[in-house]
């Protein structure tokens, strides 16, 4: 702790450590050679400076409409291209403004997809009429700060893994004709017969945090063995914010 | 063979077969005042130096205040080796009608061996202690030599790969400046990725 007060390196590296001599750009370049899971996440735990650089947006993939024909490394014109180029554990930042098409995009590796605007309303993924859902998750993923709009079908289809939906806006058809429109559909099946005694949720599930859900027949449809639970809602002036989990049904003891 | 464009200040007496590349030697001066000579071709592997040559600032030698002699000699070794490799490939393509058939055959056999040679050269160049490796990275970054920068950074990344957090701290002699709560917070932040 005394190190913080002195004039020694502002980060916690010992003055003798040679890594101290590398500038931020070089260290980030080194981290870009590491696969995010598990190596880059491990480096985030080493010390404050490494955490700052390992989680830095410069290492994220970006989805942006290209201004000119110049191809920038790490920048992709649409979400599908970014997803196929990403490594497991990568973070994809979708630029705010405009809408991006997202139709039946399958995600089979752990990814974090973030909207680049200040509010979720700034970054919109639209699923057009012909498609079943915008995003289909077959792996543990996280999405944050995005608006997902499904013109007819579902916003998110959760098949397996742990899905975290944080501060998003899910919009479905407001007056659905058939019971086809659900913001979230989960078909995950938990095969573990033993009731989970740990507080932490294991295995498959969906965790929703501070998300607005509009339209659709009902918020969540589960075709598998998971159940909706721990629902909380806050009624703000213009919309309702939800928190809930879809997971293994917790048996009352 | 057409005469190469006159380069009056060329100090080398070697003739270049069939190429328009001048054999001008460039002087590079390390931070501790030592002078090193490299062919213009090798020196141009550094984008920084390439721009200086093109802007005409290279005539009296190029001072490199950020690069000590020990590192500069390794960098020049790298550039010489890789410039020669690039040159061989170019020669191969540029002279298909060359009457020297034996030479061509040799080149064909040699290029596979040369690639191996280059790889082992690269590997031995970065098999140095940490401090030297970091100096190479800084020099390659300053001089904008992409190949060398990627090579050295990949080596450091390989040292980090598949190691636990503690092991990484040990290898790089970094002190843990996280409090228990901060460490928990970082783990939680990235917990979404781990299905535990």
pLDDT tens by residue, A143-180: 999 999 988 888 899 988 889 999 999 988 877 766 67
For residues A243 and A144, state if they share a domain.
yes
Test B138 with A26 for CB contact under 8 angstroms.
Answer: yes
Residue A51: CATH number of its domain: 1.20.1280
For residues A53 and A73, state if they share a domain.
no
pLDDT tier at B144, thresholds 50, 70, 90: very high
For residues A161 and A133, state if they share a domain.
yes
For residues A70 and A128, state if they share a domain.
yes
Phi/psi for A63 (5° steps) reads: -110, 115
> What is the least distance, in Å, from the CA of A228 to any CA of chain B?
19
pLDDT tier at B99, thresholds 50, 70, 90: very low
pLDDT tier at A98, thresholds 50, 70, 90: confident
Domain final residue pick, A59, A76, A106:
A59
Q: Tell me the range of A119-123, A195-199, A249-253, B106-110 where mean pLDDT is highest.
A: A119-123
pLDDT tier at A6, thresholds 50, 70, 90: very low
Containing domain of residue A37, as a range? 21-59
Per-residue pLDDT at A172: 86
The whole-angstrom separation of Cα B186 and Cα B170 is 20
For residues A123 and A231, state if they share a domain.
yes
Mean pLDDT of A212-226: 81
Per-residue pLDDT at A59: 87
Tell me which chain B residues have a C-beta less than 8 angstroms from the C-beta of A30.
137, 153, 156-157, 160
Tell me which chain B residues have a C-beta less than 8 angstroms from the C-beta of A110.
192-193, 195
Residue of A nearest to B142 (CA): A26
The set of residues, in sequence order, having a beta carbon less than 8 Å from that of A127 and lying 6+ positions away, is: A101, A102, A103, A104, A133, A134, A148, A149, A150, A151, A153, A155
Residue B14, pLDDT > 50, answer: no
Per-residue pLDDT at A251: 59
For residues A40 and A124, state if they share a domain.
no
What's the domain count of chain A?
A: 2
In a domain, A16, yes or no: no
Instruction: Pick A16's closest partner by Cβ from B173, B194, B196.
Output: B173
> What is the least distance, in Å, from the CA of A153 to any CA of chain B?
26
For residues A117 and A227, state if they share a domain.
yes
> Can the peptide bond before residue A38 be classed as cis, meaning omega within 30 degrees of 0?
yes
Residue A1, pLDDT > 80, answer: no
In a domain, A195, yes or no: no
For residues A159 and A240, state if they share a domain.
yes
For residues A43 and A72, state if they share a domain.
no
Tell me which chain A residues have a C-beta less than 8 angstroms from the C-beta of B186.
44-45, 51
Per-residue pLDDT at A195: 55
In a domain, A15, yes or no: no
For residues A71 and A102, state if they share a domain.
yes
For residues A68 and A40, state if they share a domain.
no
> Among the listed ranges A4-18, A43-57, B160-174, which one has the minimum average pLDDT value?
A4-18
Residue A105: CATH number of its domain: 2.160.20.10
List, in sequence order, every residue forming a beta bridge with A207; answer none if it has no partner.
A164, A245
Per-residue pLDDT at A202: 52
pLDDT tier at B191, thresholds 50, 70, 90: confident
For residues A153 and A135, state if they share a domain.
yes
Contact A155, A181 (CB under 8 A): no
Test B176 with A12 for CB contact under 8 angstroms.
Answer: yes
In a domain, A117, yes or no: yes
Residue A70, pLDDT > 90, answer: no
> Among the listed ranges A158-162, B73-77, B78-82, B113-117, which one has the minimum average pLDDT value?
B113-117
């Amino acid at each position: 702790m005394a190190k913080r007060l002195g004039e020694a390196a502002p980060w916690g590296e010992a003055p003798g450590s040679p890594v101290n001599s590398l500038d931020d750009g070089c260290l980030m370049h080194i981290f870009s050679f590491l696969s995010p899971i598990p190596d880059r996440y491990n480096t985030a735990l080493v010390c404050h400076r490494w955490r700052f650089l390992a989680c830095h947006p410069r290492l994220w993939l970006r989805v942006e409409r290209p201004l000119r024909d110049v191809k920038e490394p790490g920048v992709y014109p649409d979400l599908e291209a970014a997803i196929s180029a990403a490594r497991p554990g990568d973070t994809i930042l979708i630029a705010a403004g405009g809408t991006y098409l997202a139709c039946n995009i399958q995600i089979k590796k752990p990814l974090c997809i973030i909207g680049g605007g200040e509010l979720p309303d700034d970054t919109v993924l639209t699923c057009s009429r012909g498609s079943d859902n915008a995003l289909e998750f077959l792996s543990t993923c996280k999405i944050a700060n995005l608006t997902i709009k499904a013109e007819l079908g579902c916003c998110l289809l959760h098949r397996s893994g742990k899905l975290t939906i944080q501060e998003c806006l899910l919009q479905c058809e407001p007056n659905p004709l058939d019971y086809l429109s659900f913001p979230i559909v989960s078909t995950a099946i938990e095969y573990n017969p033993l009731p989970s005694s740990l507080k932490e949720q294991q295995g498959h599930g969906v965790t929703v945090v501070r998300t607005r859900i509009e339209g659709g027949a009902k918020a969540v449809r589960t075709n598998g063995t998971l159940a909706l639970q721990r629902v909380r809602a806050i009624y703000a002036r213009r919309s309702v914010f939800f928190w809930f989990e879809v997971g293994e049904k917790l048996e009352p003891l | 063979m057409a005469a190469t464009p006159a380069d009056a200040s060329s100090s080398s007496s070697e003739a270049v077969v069939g190429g328009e590349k001048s054999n001008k030697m460039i002087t590079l001066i390390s931070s501790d005042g030592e002078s090193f000579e490299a062919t213009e071709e090798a020196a141009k592997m550094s984008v920084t130096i390439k721009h200086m040559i093109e802007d005409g600032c290279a005539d009296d030698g190029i001072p490199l205040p950020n690069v000590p002699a020990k590192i500069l000699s390794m960098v020049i070794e790298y550039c010489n080796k890789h410039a020669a490799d690039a040159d061989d490939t170019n020669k191969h393509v540029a002279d298909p009608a060359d009457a020297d058939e034996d030479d061509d055959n040799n080149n064909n056999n040699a290029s596979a061996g040369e690639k191996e040679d280059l790889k082992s050269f690269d590997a031995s160049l970065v098999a140095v202690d940490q401090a030297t490796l970091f100096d190479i990275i800084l020099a390659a970054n300053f001089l904008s030599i992409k190949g060398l920068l990627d090579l050295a950074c990949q080596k450091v990344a390989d040292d980090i790969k598949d190691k636990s957090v503690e092991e990484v701290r040990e290898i790089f002699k970094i002190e843990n400046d996280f409090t228990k709560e901060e460490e928990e917070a970082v783990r939680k932040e990235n917990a979404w990725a781990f299905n535990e």
